[in-house]
Structure 1
């Protein structure tokens, strides 16, 4: 099955593009949370953030930053919500960042899942240790 975002990038499928260059393509989300909701995608097919080559991270997120400023300015928004799913809840398996214009009292309520505290400091320390070990394994020498 063809990637929906790759089809937009190549022009096979129409979309309301707001930006494109050699690094990224940005277009209006077909089902926006609010008008001006933009998706920013890497031009090359990359399924998840963790698969985006390290050399591409800075240039890609530079474009996300540019689009975020433009969405806020262009939509006269009070701010923005910038988010990306990684596998879970990722409706299209091509990495993408949502840039959503926000206004005070717009009805969007932060994150949509229940939040809780760690049971105690020992649990928090154990979780932090697991993450430090995973980071060390993924990026030796850092």
Structure 2
């Protein structure tokens, strides 16, 4: 595996503004923030994709995200919080991570939703397929 910037931050080989960590996660300020206070919540075990992350790490990621988001709301007096993560070709670092982004009215960050049309038949098909898979 090539050198991973997040693994290097976790192991203290790279500098970062770490704001919280435990045995499962490391939380630090994003060097390229969408807004001030933008934090990354990173599992200490290297996983590339969301689907690979073990249950213990996942539970600690979401609990740490909640703790960080609540703290950011309080200290930055935010208008809201965006919590998101990307997978596949849409992520910029090959180590799974969650973004906690403080939001402010008119901050310029947006979610653009394309106008896709999904037929009732497609919804039924997707719903049935997922229900069959999720039974396990």
- CA distance in 2 between counterparts of 1:103 and 1:12 reads 33
- CA distance in 1 between counterparts of 2:25 and 2:10 reads 9
SS in 2 for 1:50: helix
- CA distance in 2 between counterparts of 1:62 and 1:38 reads 14
Deviations 1:6-38 (A, max 9, x none): 000001010111111111111111110111101
Whether 1:9 and 2:6 are equivalent positions in the alignment is no
Structure 1 match to 2:132: 133
Moved over 3 A (4+): none
Q: How many residues align?
A: 135
TM-score, with structure 2 as normaliser = 0.91
SS in 2 for 1:88: helix
Shift of 1:134: 2.9
Structure 2 match to 1:100: 101
CA RMSD, Structure 1 to Structure 2 (Å)? 1.4
Shift of 1:113: 4.6
Shift of 1:96: 0.3
Structure 2 match to 1:41: 42
Distance 1:88 1:113, change over 3 A: farther
- CA distance in 2 between counterparts of 1:105 and 1:34 reads 11
Structure 1 match to 2:117: 117
Q: Which consecutive unaligned segments of at least 5 residues does structure 1 have?
A: none
